[in-house]
Amino acid sequence: MAEKIKDYRIGAPPTWGSWVPREAAGHVDAVAEKVATGEAAQARVREAVLLFDATVPVDTAPLTAAVWVPEPSTGEIYGFLFADLLRGETGAALSAEVFLQRVKKAPRERGVKLFDYSTSPAEVEAGPAVIEMKRWAEKGTGQVLSSVAWTIFAPGASEAVRLEFTTPVAQVFDALTDESVVIANTVRLELGEPV
């Protein structure tokens, strides 16, 4: 019988500031002070945190959200992280192999022009994972975004943790991908009660 994830831990380098999704207003000052120096830089971080938090999808089970500020003096946001819980069918364990087959084909989304999409299997400290990389443009705004998502499967769990890292700055995508590897390998999952 598959078990639920009863506890999790996601670590991050000091250039990342995180908060509980949908609760940014109570954490925005602490996040800004952690990752930015100077009032103007902290104001930029506060604004980005509140804007990003407002985009958290309502149909998800969010775990954490974070912003990446590699240059504290500017407060410039180079990336975003959204982590949520994916739930499988009651009583059934989720599998990286099955999930990889499900996401292998590029998704079709209304209002989105997809430029690149790829998937690959991986292994992290917490268990098997699936990596999805994509680059797309929002048709309404023309903004080009790049993302790397790690979906991590604890063996025997009926749930998985998905970490999606996104940047609007194409020049830092390789660096963001490196950051994602570090963070994905900090994930610790503790299983609990049977589903």
CATH classification at residue 147? 3.40.1000.10
Q: What phi, psi does 104 have (nearest 5°)? A: -60, -40
Nearest-angstrom CA–CA distance, 151 and 161: 6
Who's near 102: CB < 8 A, 6+ residues apart? Answer: none
Give residue 45's pLDDT.
Answer: 98
Taking all residues of the chain, what is their mean pLDDT, rounded to a whole number? 93
pLDDT tens per residue, range 78-125:
999 999 999 876 666 789 999 999 999 998 889 999 999 999 999 999
Give residue 195's pLDDT.
Answer: 46
Quote the DSSP letter at residue 157. B
Sheet of 61-68: strand order equals 16-19, 61-68, 79-87, 159-167, 144-153, 127-138, 112-124
Low-confidence ranges of the chain (pLDDT < 50): 195
Give residue 90's pLDDT.
Answer: 63
Strand partners for 137: 113, 144
Who's near 112: CB < 8 A, 6+ residues apart? Answer: 136, 137, 138, 139
Q: How many domains does the chain have?
A: 1
Structural domain including 124 reads: 3-194
Give residue 89's pLDDT.
Answer: 66
